[in-house]
Structure formats: structure tokens, C-alpha cells
Chains A and B, each alone.
Chain A
Amino acid sequence: MALWKFFTKKSKKDDKNECVENKEQNKHEVEDNKEDLIENTKEEKTKDIIENNNVKINEEIGINDEIVEEKTKIIAESNNIELSKESWFARLKKGLSKTRDSFTYNVRKILNFGEIDADTLEELEELFIQSDIGTNITFDLIEKIEKQSILGKLKNSDEVISFLKKEFIKTLEIETREKKSTKPSVTLVVGVNGVGKTTTIGKLAHHLKKGGSKVMMIAGDTFRAAAIEQLEIWAKRTDSVIVKHNEGADSASVVFDGINSGISKNMDFILIDTAGRLHNKVNLMKELEKIKNVIKKANDNIEIETLLVIDSTSGQNGLIQARSFKQVVDIDGIILTKLDGTAKGGIIFPIVSELKVPVVFIGVGEGVDDLRFFDSEDFISALFD
């Protein structure tokens, strides 16, 4: 099962659980209003989870520093680890509208007089380009808008806005491959230098731990100075197990050891950090291939999930990155980081559209809580509202 399937956004239909949730939420807000909560769709497990959650809360405020090892009989699959929607949405919106105006505002401004002519089309073009969507999708959209407006189907800014929203959602919503569920669930995090791989692993671990799972990190970046120490700090922060070798050691061999250790320690999740690498470096890309092979060698039954981290400030090179990584190690999902800045992360549109790989998480800051489940509708709303 895909790692991100363990995370859900709040479901409005789930009324029964909503009560429990709300109660739980109040408690959270009193004790630590930043804390996310755990939601369980299976009723009989709810009590268990809440109990677990209480322990975690206590632990965090320093009353009980014992790890809830015995609680791990709640297998990972039963947890729906909620990434609180409210706060991500607000934060994302805040980020996206900080120094520049939203799409909606801009489209309205451009189509002030309700007329779609060559000038307004050019301004719309600039609006799309500005968000790093790229020239291909931009021209495609412009052409569509032009055609529709000639046909009289797009007459004003409202119609253009809803048309755009629909088009964007269509691009982002794709069928995802279903992977079989294995224990441990192994996630390989890859990407170019400095995009936020290590930090994202820290954030993921934090949420998985809160769901009561056993989490292990493998320090696969044996190259960059102090990369291992960096991950160690995240392991400590999130109370995860870490497997590491020395700097300069073979990355594949630490991964091999880690996987074996993770299996014997009965881990639910293993998160593998890798060194940042530019996608045009053949040898470094081969190393990733080797890492994947070595996981299979450790245990042939393990399904590996490979997540590519893309920095939202990235321009058109992001697409080339994604293409290359997909070709070499196959990518199951994308994590879009640094959305708390002013970049809009439009590069995911050409990526998703071409490679048919879903965006699964977004990063909105440097703290443990700054990870959000990706929801295309919310993402687009945040772009527009």
C-alpha cells in the first residue's frame, strides 16, 4: 500500500468519527494546538488509537517519556494519519498570496472589461508562465480559452476562472498505481541537491510515529558533509530508529543493512534518505539503481516506494529532473516542498501531465508539522483564492 494512503485529509462524510475527532481536537487545542490528530475509520480501533494518542500528547509535554511500544499491535494499515486540513490550507494560501496576487484576482484584473482579445490573452499567458507552468501547457490553455471565447462559451472572468480550475484539476488528477502492502513499508526518497529530502523524511517520520507506527530511517546519504548527523537529529526529534554507516561508506551497503535490521526489528515503515544528485550525472543515478536492487536482494517481497522531492521554486528543469529520475528508478509519487515561499510550484503541472505520477505531499515549512497531504482541489483553490 502506498505510503500516502496512510494519510488522509479530513473526510466530511465521516460523521460518526467526526464527533470523536472533534472531542479529540478540543483536547488537542487545549494541550497543544499545533498537534495533529489521529483518526481511525474502524470504530473498534478508535479507543485504542485515542489512548495511544493521549500517551503521545503526554509524552510531548514531558509527563510521560515512555515509548508506547506495546501499542504497535495496532498495525499501520488501520491508522489514518490526518494531516490537518485547516492549517495547511490557510498556510498554503498565506504562502501563495504573500507577495503576489492570486490567480482569481489576476484573471479578474486582466478581464476587467470582460473582453477576451489578443491583449488579454497575452496577459493570461504571462500569468501562467509566472507560476512556472511552462510554455507548453500555457499555450495549450491560451488556445483553448481563445477557442472557447470565440464560441461564446467563455464570456467573463468568472467563466474563465472556473474553466481554468477545471483544466488544472484535470491535469493533476490521475490514476495511481496500487502497490501491494508489505511490512515493512519501504520508502526511498530521492531528488536533486537541497530540495528537502532529509527534512521531508523527518516530517514523515513524525506523523507516522504519531500514528503509533514503528519507524526506521536509513542514512543513505553517505556523501554530503554531516548529512548523517542531520538525519540523526531528525531521528532523535521524532523518536525513530536510525541505521547509519560512516561518511564515505557505500550507500547501497547501509541500505542493505538497514533493510535487514528493519525486518528483524519488525518495523512498520522504513524511510531511506539518499544523497542529493543532479539527474544528469550518470554514475550517481546508477547508484540509485543499485540501492533499489540491494533492497530487493535483502528481501525480494518488499515493495519499494520511490518518492521524488521537487522544490517548488524550481523552474522548467524540474520536468527534466522528474523525467530522468523516473527513467532510472521509477517514481511512485512526488513531494513538492517549500510551498511556504512565494513560488507557486507550477512545474508540477507539466510533470504530472507528462509522467502521470501523482503529487502526494507538500512541504510548507521547516518544522515537523509542516507536511501536508496533497489534494489537487485544495492546491488549485489555494492558487485561485
Chain B
Amino acid sequence: MFENLTEKLGDIFDKLKGKGKLTEKDLDITLREVKLVLLGADVNFKVVKDFIKNVKEKSLGSEILKSLSPGHQVIKIVNEELVDILGGENEKIIFNSNRVTKIMLVGLQGSGKTTTCAKIAYNYKAQNKKILLVAADIYRPAAIKQLKVLGDSIGVEVFSMGDKEEPWKILKAAEEYAVPKGIDLIILDTAGRLHIDENLMEELSLIKQNNIVDETLLVVDAMTGQDAVNVADKFNEKIGLSGLILTKLDGDARGGAALSIKKVTGKPIKYIGVGEKINQLESFYPDRMASRILGMGDVLTLIEKAQSAFNEEEAKELEKKFRKAEFTFEDFYKQLQQIKKMGSISDIMNMIPGMGKLKKMQDVQVDEKELVYVEAIINSMTKEERIRPNVIDGSRKKRIASGAGRNVQEVNRLLKQFEDMKKMMKNMGKMQKMMGKMPGFPF
């Protein structure tokens, strides 16, 4: 399947290579691939559809199709859009200063509510808050016991009235119990339920009708598929949510559900669960989640690196030089330095979509050494020689070679390659053709 967007997009970019400019049709092909990746990550198909439409509009509306690396720019927009949807205010639980703060966790069966209740308790206990866990899962066998065991393990009291009392009454009684004790935070664990179970959804409404609940958090399993939107939508509609918690992210699910539920409810994702242990609750970072959903942290790193190492102004300047064949060893040297800033050549190759695959092939080996030698040779040139290489005569060649620790043949080869390159550039009307594949790579 589409486990690696990097590879997938690599293929597309390969096809687009040498075009420089993306047409709308190219854009559609790219976005089709992005769509598949999102679907493979379990983002709801409706959410995907809107998302793609949005990205397309943004891409067409901006200058990116004419930019130096349109393919990367599209992916950048995709990523930014994802982060944008996933992010937003990410405040933790806001404590009520006048009275005890009450939060409740709701969700489908098996999503991880009970464990998460205890994790939140543990988290705030460490911040010196006085916590009371309240057991209101009156249905699942041993659910109350489970909360008690967890509470005991972290030294947090668990309030329970057995499994015969209605949950809204349990919370009321818990508050009465908590106030004189100076409790800061009450965490209510509710039974797992289907969003279409009218009676059980009514049970949740009753809790909120009869109590002031500060936060209603929906707990969602990161492995959830297309149905996540139905679930989140119904819970939000019936009882009103204030936030979301995503669990089981220590697995290898891509977690597209996060995007779906965020999009549908607009509520912030407040925490993520990353393990079965009580301390494995973390803050949510939209950018990390976006990369996870796309399965392509590497490409984004590369784009960022390329951008910081090489700004577009400089690129345009170089382009002009190329066109007029004014490109010198001085410029070439600068380029080499920029490549170095981005990491080793093989690192960069790995990050370039499709390159990882190519590199495995025996005949396409990047010789890092070769570039080091080239750099050494240029280093050994005087400024004049770099700008006007035709002044380099036999004795200069000897000097350059010995300065770089290479032999004269190698110096000759480099000079010849450089001349060929310049000729080639001259012949080419539009430099974009060469620039298209990577920002700032004139070769």
C-alpha cells in the first residue's frame, strides 16, 4: 500500500522532472497521489475530498506553479493545510478557580477511557492538584475495579457508588464528597457506548444536564477508520464536546482519524496516549501528526533544509547567470557549500523522493569523495581563476593540483566538465528545465 509517500511522490516528480513548471494537470496528478495517501491513513473520504479541493485552490491561486520547485511547494501547502486543520488552540484543562473542576471522558467501547482517566490524574497530581477519580462505567464487568486498581497505583482516590446508581447522580454525589476535601479536579470515567445507542447517549446528556461539566473529552482510538467522523459528529451533536484525546499512538496506525475528528468537530486535540503505562500521556503536536499522516517527515525536512540553505533570490540570480553563461567556479563553489549545509550528499539523496529507491541500484552511486576532491580543487584556485577559468594555464594547473592534493588530470577533467556544462547551459533557453528538480541544484 502507500506506506511511503516519499517514494510515491518521487515517481511523480521524476515524471515532472525537466518540466520546471507544473501545469494544472500535473497538479491534479500530484494531488491524486496525496489523496491516496490520506485515504490509506484512514482520513475520512469526505474530509479528503474537501482537503484536496482546498489545496488545489491554494496552489492555483498562488505563484507556486511558476516557482522553482513546484512539486515540493505543493507538498508544502499540503503539510501546512494539515497542520492548520489539526492545530488551533491547544490549551490544557482550564481550572476553575472558584469551585472544583469537573471533566468527563466519553467514547466508544475499548477506546481507552479508563486508562486515560488515570493518566490525566497522574499528570495533574504531579502538578500538585488534588484529584478525585469517579467511576461511572456501571456496565462493563470489572470496569470500576479497573479504575480503582489504577487509582491505587498512583495514589489517587477513586469514588464509586457501585453499578446500580445512575451516572449523573454519581457525579453529583462525588462533588459533594469532593468539595469539603479541597479537591481541585474530578475526572469522570464513563462506560464505552455506541454513538447510535439512544439510551446510553441520553445517559450522558443527563450527566451534563444535572451537573456543570467543565470539559467533555472524546477519547478516540488512533486505529479508527472511516467511521470516526460519524462517531465524533454524533457525540458532539448529542452531548457537546470540548476536546479530543487520541489513544494508542504507540502503534503504527497513521492516525488519519485525528484529522477527521478534528475537522468534523473543530475541537482541539488535547492529549495523545502513547503507551499502556500511566505516564504515557503526551501533548499533541499538529506538525508531528501531519507528518505521521503523510508518512513523509523526510521530504518536509528536506524542503525546509533546502529553503534555509538557499533562498529564492539567490536562485533567481544564479538562473540569470546560467542563462548568460556567466556561471563561474565561484558560483559553483557556493553551490557546493550549500549542498554541504544540507547534510551529506547521501543524506540528501535519501531525502529526495524516489532517490532512496534509485540509490539501491548499483550503477547510481553517489561518490561523496569525488565531490570532496572537486571542492578541494576549487579551493586551491585563486579568485581570478574561479571567475575566469580560461586564465588557467599549465603551470597554474600544476599549482592547483598540488594545492588540492590531486593530480593534473583531475584538474583538467573538472575544467572540461565545467566548460561542457556552461556550453550546455547556453544552449538551453530556459534554465527552469534544470532547476525544476531541486531548488539550487544547477547540475
Contact = CB atoms under 8 A, between A and B. Distances in A.
A and B assemble together: yes
Given A226-B146, A230-B141, A132 B110 contact: no
Interface stretch (B123-131, B247-255, B311-319, B349-357): B247-255
B207 interface: no
A311 B230 contact: no
B55 to A, nearest CB: 18
B223 A226 contact: no
Contacts of B143: 226, 230
21 contacts: A100-B230, A132-B42, A132-B226, A193-B110, A193-B276, A194-B111, A195-B110, A196-B110, A230-B140, A233-B142, A278-B252, A313-B224, A314-B224, A315-B225, A316-B253, A317-B42, A320-B252, A341-B195, A342-B195, A344-B227, A366-B139
B221 A194 contact: yes
Contacts of A344: 227
Given A130-B226, A135-B36, A136-B1, A99 B252 contact: no
A347 B39 contact: no
A193 B112 contact: yes
A315 B223 contact: yes
B366 interface: no
Contact of A313 (B140, B221, B254): B221
A341 B194 contact: yes
A63 interface: no
Given A134-B1, A192-B251, A230-B146, A315 B226 contact: yes
Contacts of B411: none
Q: Which of B2, B227, B257 has the most CB of A within 10 A?
A: B227
A317 B150 CA distance: 28
A317 B248 CA distance: 12
Interface string B126-152: 000000000000011111011111100
Contacts of A338: 108-110, 194
Given A311-B223, A317-B223, A342-B230, 7 more contacts: A225-B149, A233-B141, A311-B221, A313-B228, A318-B225, A341-B231, A342-B227
A313 B142 contact: no
Given A315-B224, A315-B257, A129 B109 contact: no
B171 interface: no
Contact of A311 (B110, B141, B251): B110
Interface string A115-135: 000000000001001111011
A189 to B, nearest CB: 14
Nearest to B223: A317
Contacts of B146: 224-227, 229-230
A-side binding surface: helix, strand, loop or mixed? loop
B441 interface: no
A194 B110 contact: yes
Nearest to B36: A135
Contact of A316 (B1, B112, B148, B227): B1
A98 interface: yes
Contacts of B36: 135
A344 B227 CA distance: 8
B389 to A, nearest CB: 53
B221 A135 contact: no
B256 interface: yes
Interface of A: 98-100, 126, 129-132, 134-136, 192-196, 202, 223-227, 229-230, 232-234, 247, 278-281, 311, 313-321, 338, 340-344, 346-347, 366
B373 interface: no
Interface in B202-247: 221, 223-228, 230-231, 234
Interface string B8-40: 000000000000000000000000000010011
A233 B143 CA distance: 11
Contacts of A195: 110
A334 B209 CA distance: 42
A225 B133 CA distance: 15
B377 interface: no
A347 B194 contact: no
Nearest to A98: B196
B45 A280 contact: no
Contact of A343 (B145, B150, B226): B226
A296 B194 CA distance: 40
A280 B251 CA distance: 6
B142 A135 contact: no
Contacts of B139: 366
Contacts of B276: 193, 223-224
A226 B228 CA distance: 28
Contacts of A192: 223, 248, 251
Nearest to B153: A225
A317 B109 contact: no
B148 to A, nearest CB: 8
B324 to A, nearest CB: 47
A344 B41 CA distance: 17
A129 B39 contact: yes
Interface in B254-283: 254, 256-257, 276
A118 to B, nearest CB: 13
B1 A130 contact: no
Contact of B226 (A98, A131, A280): A131
Q: Which of B146, B228, B250, B251 has the most CB of A within 10 A?
A: B251
